[in-house]
Amino acid sequence: MELEDLKGIIRDVPDFPSKGIMFRDLTTLIKNGEALKVMSRGLAELYRDRGVTKVVGIESRGFIGGSILAYELGAGFVPARKPGKLPSVTIKKSYAKEYGVDTIELHSDAINENDVVVLHDDLLATGGTMKACYELVKSMNPKKIYINFVVELDALHGRDNLPSDVEITSLLRYE
């Protein structure tokens, strides 16, 4: 199985969560052992020799690929969570979504100036959540930040909302 074969395993769910949306359901990919292995290897190969020390996974689906990536790289895993979910001192960033305002939090001691960080989420749509996570991590002054997704929906132009000076990678892209 090759990376492009993963598209045939990802389930398309029309009109979810609302009419006119084609939802790309990655649960069908991660429940398939061979597909999960191909995804994991693909993610790791992108960053294997880049000195990554931390992977930040965005709640909740970003925890899956982010944890795998951190494990494969021998890096630490940092969860980016919704408010009130982390048990210690946090920093937070609020951001606009198509249906209101949301907030993301990190532990205040999760990243330091010696870290090389990959921000990971399962899917890039409009980029709002990742942009907020990037700004939060950037405020912690790491050495380097990369941004990564399993799937990118090109038609929504989410990359346009992310910083142009950061390397952004996606394993799979949909027009």
- The catalytic residues are 61, 98
Distance CA 70, CA 81 (A): 17
Distance CA 90, CA 107 (A): 4
132 is written with which tokens? 């907020």
List, in sequence order, every beta strand (DSSP E) within 41-115: 54-58, 76-80, 90-97, 100-107
Handedness of CA 134, 137, 141, 145 (dihedral sign): negative
Half-sphere exposure of 151 toward its Cβ, with a 13 Å CA cutoff?
26
DSSP assignment string, 111-139: --TT-EEEEEEEEESS-HHHHHHHHHHHT
